[in-house]
């Protein structure tokens, strides 16, 4: 591999044994995705897909703390404010990469060890195999920064059991460890001390089929011991989640939570009330529409939403409050759900004409 600049080190692309291995390599930044990383991964993925000697693709994060904490959105917000228009390009290429993962012709194994949020979910959840460890921390926390659970969230979230995806999308609730598997986000669970061995076993396979790969993962999954006997942490709340989050408007969901009155419901109410009202409304509609769309149709819809959010107020305010000043008190505009009109909402979903994301 030829290495030119420091940026080239942000992601390592190596052919090892039967596999192409992608290592997200910005551990100081929790492996947050840059445009440069997206471009490198996309072009290498396409090459490996065509290479008869590459039988599977493995993606993982360096440093042990994170698989990938998301896209480097602070950089995007700062660039937008400085009138450098990188957002249209960043989101377009990121979503094209999400689709490339979803349509990858080779078995794709994401080792989701550590923080896996936002853009990191987009790099893993659409692939064939997702292996969580006890250190995995999953969330789609975008409503807290004036965005929405993008990278194909509109596709995979409404397809989770019951209304679980709607709950995760609106609250940004975090799932840990084996619960990421129980929720259906991971396909396998492996104790982290066995992760390196699992990778070695995968690399040592000779011209493996999808079934050979699945069987190695299955063996490790079956032998994993951590939290094996615990039930899904949201199990006792699933009935509440299903009934409260089955409403068609955010206002009704909030009313349902108030009516429910349990400590769990009131806790979620508190969380939802802190989120961007615009983001909440966009997100609910995104999931409702996404539930019957293909991944590509969802990504086209989400690209429209992403560009509307860049033009708006809440995304830049959310990034300021959460990532820059860290005062955690964003001033949303509008500040109230009832001020977010249907017209505002419809404008977010409008076609961008020749600027639409096309596959």
Does 172 participate in catalysis according to the annotation?
Answer: no
Given the residues 94, 134, 142, 199, select the one marked as catalytic: 142
The beta strand positions in the chain, using DSSP E, are: 11-16, 19-24, 56-61, 66-68, 108-112, 115-117, 129-132, 137-139, 175-176, 188-189
Mark whether 119 is an active-site residue. yes
Residues 6+ away with beta carbon under 8 Å from 249: 284
Question: From the candidates 71, 102, 114, 172, which is the catalytic residue?
Answer: 71
Q: Give the C-alpha separation, 125 to 132, whole Å.
A: 11
Catalytic residue, chosen from 72, 94, 150, 199, is 150
Gap between the terminal Cα atoms of the chain = 30
| Separation between Cα atoms, residue 229 and residue 89, nearest integer Å | 46
Residues 1, 25 contacting (CB under 8 angstroms): no
Q: How far is CA 149 from CA 281, 302, 303, in A?
A: 12, 9, 12
- Per the CB < 8 A criterion, the answer to whether 150 and 304 are in contact is no
70 classed as catalytic:
no
Judge whether 318 counts as a catalytic residue: no
User: How far is the CA of 322 from the CAs of 28, 75, 141, 267, in angstroms?
Assistant: 18, 14, 11, 20
From the list 118, 119, 120, 152, the catalytic residue is 119
Q: Which residues form the catalytic set? A: 71, 119, 142, 150
């Amino acid at each position: 591999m030829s290495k030119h600049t420091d940026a080239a080190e942000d992601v390592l692309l190596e052919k090892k044994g039967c596999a192409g291995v992608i290592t997200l390599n910005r551990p100081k930044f929790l492996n947050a995705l840059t445009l440069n990383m997206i471009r490198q991964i996309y072009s290498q993925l396409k090459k490996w897909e065509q290479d008869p000697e590459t039988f599977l693709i493995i993606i993982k994060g360096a440093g042990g703390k994170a698989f990938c904490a998301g896209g480097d959105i602070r950089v995007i917000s700062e660039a937008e404010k400085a009138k450098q228009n990188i957002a249209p390009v960043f989101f377009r290429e990121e979503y094209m990469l999400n689709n490339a993962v979803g349509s990858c012709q080779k078995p794709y194994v994401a080792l989701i060890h550590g923080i896996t949020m936002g853009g990191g979910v987009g790099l893993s959840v659409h692939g064939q195999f997702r292996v969580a460890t006890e250190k995995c921390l999953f969330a789609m926390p975008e409503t807290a920064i004036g965005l929405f659970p993008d990278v194909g969230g509109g596709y995979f979230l409404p397809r989770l059991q019951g209304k679980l995806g709607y709950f995760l999308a609106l609250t940004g609730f975090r799932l840990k460890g084996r619960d990421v598997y129980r929720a259906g986000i991971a396909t396998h669970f492996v104790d982290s001390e066995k992760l390196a061995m699992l990778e070695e076993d995968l690399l040592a396979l000779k011209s493996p089929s999808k079934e050979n790969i699945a069987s190695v993962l299955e063996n490790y999954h079956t032998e994993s011991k951590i939290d094996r006997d615990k039930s899904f942490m949201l199990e006792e709340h699933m009935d509440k989640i299903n009934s409260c989050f089955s409403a068609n408007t955010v206002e009704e969901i909030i009313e349902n939570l108030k009516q429910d009155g349990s400590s769990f419901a009131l806790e979620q109410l508190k969380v939802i009330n802190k989120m961007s009202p615009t983001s909440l409304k966009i997100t609910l509609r995104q999931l409702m529409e996404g539930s019957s769309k293909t991944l590509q149709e969802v990504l086209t819809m989400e690209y429209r939403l992403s560009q509307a959010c860049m033009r708006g107020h809440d995304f830049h305010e959310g990034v300021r409050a959460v990532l820059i000043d860290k005062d955690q008190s964003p001033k949303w505009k509008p500040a109230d759900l009832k001020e977010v009109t249907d017209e505002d909402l419809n404008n977010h979903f409008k076609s961008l004409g020749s600027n639409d994301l096309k596959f």
